[in-house]
Chain A
Amino acid sequence: MPYTIAEKILLAHTDKTDIHPGEFIEARVDLALGNDITAPFAIAEFKKSGVRKVFDPKKIVLVPDHFAPAKDLQSANQCRILADFAKEQKIENYFEVGCMGIEHALLPEKGLVSPGDLVIGADSHTCTYGALGSFATGVGSTDLARAFIDGKCWLRVPQTIKFIYKGKLKKWTSGKDLILYTIGQIGVDGALGKVMEFSGPVINKLSVDDRFAMSNMAIEAGGVTGIIEPDEIAFDFIKRVHSQKFIVHSKKLRTTNYELRTLKSDKDAYYENIYEYDVSKLEPQLACPHLPSNVKPVSKLGDIALDQVVIGSCTNGRISDLRIAARILKGKKIKPGLRLIVIPATQKIYLEAVKEGLAEIFVEAGGVFSTPTCGPCLGGHMGILAEGERCLATTNRNFMGRMGSPKSEVYLSSPAVAAASAIKGRITHPDELGVRC
């Protein structure tokens, strides 16, 4: 029977011979991820189960990134739980401060995710890795504990919604704008319990970083994952990050069913719905308070003054995001009184930004350049908003109080809009600054 790419990957992680949407499966996972917020519960549940050893330490990743470097004593204790568990269980993929980064930028960069993989993470933005053609989805801490025990996860095979993007992107329109637009169209539950499959000529030309930004926000529409068929752009990225010939983790996928380069949805696969967007005229998009679906094009926003701009996160803290922000900020100063906080997502990106002179541009412009952390995105640290303050962030959520006071506001945008807005002190189209893209 014809399958979508998501169904093919799920089938490859079971002993079954066929698979149907709606069906419950016990799937073998290739990678199970936890962070300093979710892993402490998972480790406690694992210990309560009486099982002494994790199923496979090589398939577990622990990243203290949300409140790390530890923002206070309590978060230090939580980070400690991860470090101790990693040592006890011989989990090599534990990334201490100095090696760590925001998990969803870090794992692909470390070559831990391959096309065709089934990845679960006790973090909702685990869906990010769908950009490489994996089935990656967020779960809870107890689900993670169960994966620690036997390397499995129950899943209900989701239906897939296909999104086809046609046309040619305008110069300041990015993957972030595509996904914001999409969420604006379908709503925060528009893909509830479904796979979002991104496709079409625009996606075929989109950079991996832009694809990550899109897949990252699938969960903001309720999506189980946001998947893109792996192509030469994905394979080039994977070849760069893998020190050796990359590994397809699923034995079944490796040996029998599908050649990786043909890991695509079948032509006659069933889709629950198909949306087709011509995005040739799409201008930069912003999600307005307090939902990621409250989306407007930048030209419709009027004069919205800002107190803070954050460029970073698992959505848009990658090197190409910092490059585009630096191109706009180069030789300019941010609006006096505004705070610009730039957070590279990983140590590698941090170092690249230093070597390329991007860090200098941000600091010269009047911004700060932070160590990698999720930090302000979830109101953790490194840029909490006071009552009445307004922030434009390249992050993924703008729920009420997400970045601090419940009486603060968060707008979401691409790094280009964020950088332009930092200079003007109000939400600004990058075109206004006359910079070449």
Chain B
Amino acid sequence: MDSNLQTPNSRLQTNKMIIKGRVHKFGNDINTDDIIAAKYLVSTDEKELGKHCMENIAPDFVSKVNKGDIIVAGKNFGCGSSREHAPRALKGSGIASVLARSFAGIFFRNAINVGLPFLQLDDADKIKDGDLLEIDLTSGIIKNLSANQAYKSEPFPAFLEEIIKKGGLINYMKHH
């Protein structure tokens, strides 16, 4: 079991292993109603969901996001409901990755399943709104180009790495 926990390597499935973008900073306990309010759960279209991402807590968020930008948050990101619409809305808004001190359990599963690259980062508090980050998903190293700092994210357990590498849960099953 413990060996599972200590296997850093390929990180998240994505066709782009380096993500470079500006930071949109959020606090602790960002819940799934914040990410996408329930009134919009009548759509399964990522782009449509993306238009309303973070609407309740940051009404100008979507207009400020450039494709490839990064969310950095505190603890318990994605708490609340099981809605898979949340990571899909983030993708639809143009967000390329989420870094947080910790993630809520169901959001964690959903982010893997929908291919939203996310990393657990103890140093999330050191990053400021508007910082330019360069994330290497292969090594888990995050460079803060604005602050001239570098951070190392928590590695994923091997079991999850395998799901990610196979391109999500359904594809993983096809190989097993």
Contacts and interface: CB of A to CB of B under 8 A. Distances in A.
Contacts of A41: 44, 84-85
A124 B1 contact: no
Contacts, number: 135
B158 to A, nearest CB: 9
Contacts of B174: 49
Nearest to A377: B38
B19 interface: no
Interface size class of A (residues with CB under 8 A): 35 or more
A32 to B, nearest CB: 13
A357 interface: no
A45 B170 contact: yes
A57 interface: no
Contact of B82 (A44, A123, A406): A123
Given A150-B173, A291-B29, A399-B33, A380 B38 contact: yes
With most chain B CB atoms within 10 A of its CB, the pick from A40, A44, A124 is A124
A24 B82 contact: no
A222 B39 contact: no
A397 interface: yes
A74 B42 CA distance: 6
A398 B106 CA distance: 19
B29 A188 contact: yes
B113 A37 contact: no
Interface size class of B (residues with CB under 8 A): 35 or more
Interface of B: 1-2, 4-5, 29, 31, 33-34, 37-39, 41-44, 55-57, 75-76, 79-85, 102, 104-106, 109-110, 113-114, 157, 159-160, 163, 168-170, 173-174
Given A121-B82, A141-B110, A397-B81, 18 more contacts: A22-B2, A37-B41, A49-B170, A75-B42, A124-B81, A140-B113, A141-B84, A150-B173, A154-B169, A193-B105, A222-B104, A379-B37, A380-B38, A397-B31, A399-B34, A400-B56, A406-B55, A406-B57
Interface of A: 20, 22-24, 37-38, 40-41, 44-45, 48-49, 66-67, 72, 74-75, 78, 121-124, 126, 138-143, 145-146, 149-150, 154, 156, 188-189, 192-193, 219, 222, 224, 291, 378-380, 397, 399-402, 406
